[in-house]
Amino acid sequence: MKIGLFIPCYVDQFYPKVGIATYELLIKLGCDVRFPMKQTCCGQPMANSGYAHLTKGCDANFIANFSEFDYIVCPSGSCVLHVKDHLHDEKQEELAAEMRKKVFELTEFITDVLKVDHIEGNFPHKVGMHQSCHGQRGLKLSQMTELNAPFFSKPGQLLNKIEGLELVSLSRKDECCGFGGTFCVTEEAVSVKMGLDRIKDHEKHDVDYITGGDMSCLMHLEGILKRQKSHIKTIHIAEILNSSTIKI
């Protein structure tokens, strides 16, 4: 299967190692992966700020770059959800609708499409899993705690199989970190307070790392951790999984 690797702007600019880890992981899983060089922002920041009408160029460019692929995979739940919900093109609406169904977040693609449930490896650290809002509530990557329903977590399912990795059970499993894209700029004080609260939960459980599927949320938490001179580090789930040996 031909996979188009969709890398968010902030990953490309600030955390390229996450994009590289995602690429290498998909290759290890037997995928034919290509990175379209002319891809740009998917338009999410503009849409979240009330300027969705200005994203037509982003939509057209996304379609031009990714229409040839069987699947489009991205290490960011928020960007994936934006494309799934908002990719349109008046001139190619049928194609846009088809592509919205092909876009997958990384752990969703691994568990649901590739049907991989066991990744062997060693990561001898205590880890807290931050469930980002878009991934959890939009893409249904894990169960919401307010629902009286069986628990599941697609990223947790993969992490739990890594030797030496102790995945802690947080007190508030699905609490927002406060990033929220442009929210952290327009509502800085509230955003920081939410981030501090999120970190306290991880500190209470004495984790070594905070991981997640959205580098944007981890970037927000990382900034707070560095200002606090905390020993806790952030790491994208792709980097943990890529350091392991794949077993299908």
Q: Compute the distance between CA of residue 119 and CA of residue 240 in angstroms, rounded to an integer.
A: 10
Other CB atoms within 10 Å distance of the CB of residue 183:
17
**What end-to-end distance do the CA atoms of the chain give, in Å?**
16
CA nearest neighbour of 131 among 203, 82, 66, 179 = 179
pLDDT in tens, 95-142: 999 999 999 999 999 999 999 988 888 899 999 999 999 999 999 999
Query: What's the chain's average pLDDT?
Result: 94
Other CB atoms within 10 Å distance of the CB of residue 63:
18
Rounded to two decimals, the pTM is 0.94
Q: Compute the distance between CA of residue 200 and CA of residue 29 in angstroms, rounded to an integer.
A: 36
Query: Could you tell me how many helices (H) and strands (E) the chain has, helices first?
Result: 13, 10
Q: Compute the distance between CA of residue 134 and CA of residue 132 in angstroms, rounded to an integer.
A: 6
Contacts of 194 (CB under 8 A, 6+ apart): 175, 176, 177, 178
Residue type, 22: T
Q: Which of 58-72, 170-184, 230-244 has the lowest mean pLDDT?
A: 170-184
